[in-house]
Structure 1
Amino acid sequence: MPAGRARSPLRWWPAAAWLLLLALLPWWCGLPLLLALAASLLAAPERLRPHAATLRRALRWGLPGMLFALQRALGGDALAWGAALLGALAGYSLLALLEYLLDHPHRPAAAAAPSPSWPELALAPIGPAAAIVELAPPRWLAEPAFDDPRGGRVRREDGEYRFDDGTRCGPAGARCCFAPDGRWFCVDSGRGVLLWDRERGRRHRLRGWRLYGWHAGGPWLVRGGHRPPLALKDVLGDTG
């Protein structure tokens, strides 16, 4: 028989001697020893890691020895053995919980950001961030002829506006104007406006609206004296 296998029973002799010692000692001496072992494993798991296996084995083997001492102190009758068995059930349940906690140490979660106080919540903005819109006022033209910002001249003839490239826009109104970049041409008839997108070739006749200004190269219009101006895309959505 190999020497290593012949010496293997020696590994359990210290555990058996520990069990026998607690069985011979009064239970009120063995119980504090076991509690001290469990508390040390919980209090300093990293420091006692090299001895953790030995201390766990001491708890597993020491518990039945302490319970045997308990039943002996209770008289050794059936009631004493019943109390010892209940103690074994509770003790090994707690021991299983202890080993689970040692095998799965709790890692504190990352510190959460402090929640804002109610004054901060009250002053916090609600909804999407507001954008400041600065409108360039229209520069109205009433002359019979004027310059085109994109080159050439515009003439008012036969109730229409005629451009040098032959394009006509009408009917002519009381006044007209160009967008700052010359893309849009607006005719104000007094009852509404005619907007001509010269790049896309689209014309929009909007009755009851008037030009209020230009922003980002596009017209903003207003209807009535107490309503805020709207971009053309919003106006077209309102008018269908």
Structure 2
Amino acid sequence: MARRRGPPWRAVLSRAAWLVLLAVLPWWLGLPWLLALAASVVLLQHRLADRHAALIRRGMRWGLPGVLFALQRAWGGDAFALGAALLGALAGYTLLAGLEAWLDRGVRRAPPAAPSAEWPELAMAPIGPPAEIIELQPVQWLAAAGELPDPLGGHVVYRTGCYRFAAGNRIDDVGPQAAFSPCGRWFAARLRRDRGVLLWDRRRERQHWLHGWQLVGWHREQPWLARREGDMPLALSAVLGEDDVDGA
């Protein structure tokens, strides 16, 4: 159950009553009370509840003027006594501020909130991932007239629609035009009657028979294809996710 707080004027009256009490009492009675409050908040800082510690601090802030008033009254209440009381107030509140700063040295304060961007900045801010300019390396088609040099070593022999590689791999039912990716990972061959393209990932040993697609270039050792000349090229991953692929 939440604790009900009294009206603000009640708290002000209690603090004013404390100030008046110390002002009426002799200074040699009020000063020990202030020193006792300061000693308790220093020695018991880890045992006191936050509410009690705050109450003691308010008692020191409001009690100091009362003790100084009692002190200047004891000194005769003349101009010298008033000046001494004002100097005492300056020194006392300086010490009190230093004491509270020392007590709050381990308190973590929330960092200030970052200023929110204005609407022109939000309107001009980029949306989505950063754009990337893709420059495709053109495909170097080779006419398979007997043998083709293999970028990974050896030669590829072509005989009537069949490619034979030095490692023993064989690809059938393709046309006489073939190409390799810049580093040799991919082997591409046009299908007969130019009905599509075969792509062979030699690293993963996977073949993709893509009917109705044309190989238009390479980017980062990956093939990019288009349906017809002039269309926007697509990466192989996009093509495999949108079209039927016959795996061989």
**Structure 1-normalised TM-score?**
0.54
Deviation digits for residues 34-81 of structure 1 (CA, Å, limit 9, x no counterpart): xxxxxxxxxxxxxx97852427999xxxxxxxxxxxxxxxxxxxxxxx
Specify the SS of the correspondent of 2:140.
Answer: coil
Are residues 233 and 55 of structure 1, via their aligned partners in 2, closer, same or farther at CA, if it must alter by over 3 Å? same
Equivalence map 1:1-240=2 (5 Å): 15=21, 51-54=60-63, 110-144=111-145, 145-189=147-191, 190-240=194-244
CA distance in 2, matches of 1:110, 1:238: 49
Are residues 151 and 108 of structure 1, via their aligned partners in 2, closer, same or farther at CA, if it must alter by over 3 Å? closer
**Aligned CA-pair RMSD:** 3.5
Asked if the contact 1:140/1:176 (under 8 Å) is kept, the reply is: yes
Distance apart, 1:199 and its partner CA: 1.9
Count of residue correspondences? 154
Deviation digits for residues 6-38 of structure 1 (CA, Å, limit 9, x no counterpart): xxxxxx9x73996xxxxxxxxxxxxxxxxxxxx
Asked if the contact 2:144/2:178 (under 8 Å) is kept, the reply is: no
Asked if the contact 1:160/1:170 (under 8 Å) is kept, the reply is: yes
Are residues 162 and 122 of structure 1, via their aligned partners in 2, closer, same or farther at CA, if it must alter by over 3 Å? same
Asked if the contact 1:156/1:172 (under 8 Å) is kept, the reply is: no
Deviation digits for residues 116-152 of structure 1 (CA, Å, limit 9, x no counterpart): 3333222210011222322211110013122011111
Partner of 2:82: none
CA distance in 2, matches of 1:218, 1:110: 47
Q: Which amino acid aligns with 1:137?
A: P
Asked if the contact 2:185/2:202 (under 8 Å) is kept, the reply is: yes
> Which sections of structure 2, spanning at least 5 residues, go unmatched?
1-17, 25-56, 68-107
Q: Which amino acid aligns with 1:171?
A: D
CA distance in 1, matches of 2:190, 2:171: 12
User: Highest CA radius of gyration, 1 or 2?
Assistant: 1
Specify the SS of the correspondent of 1:227.
Answer: coil
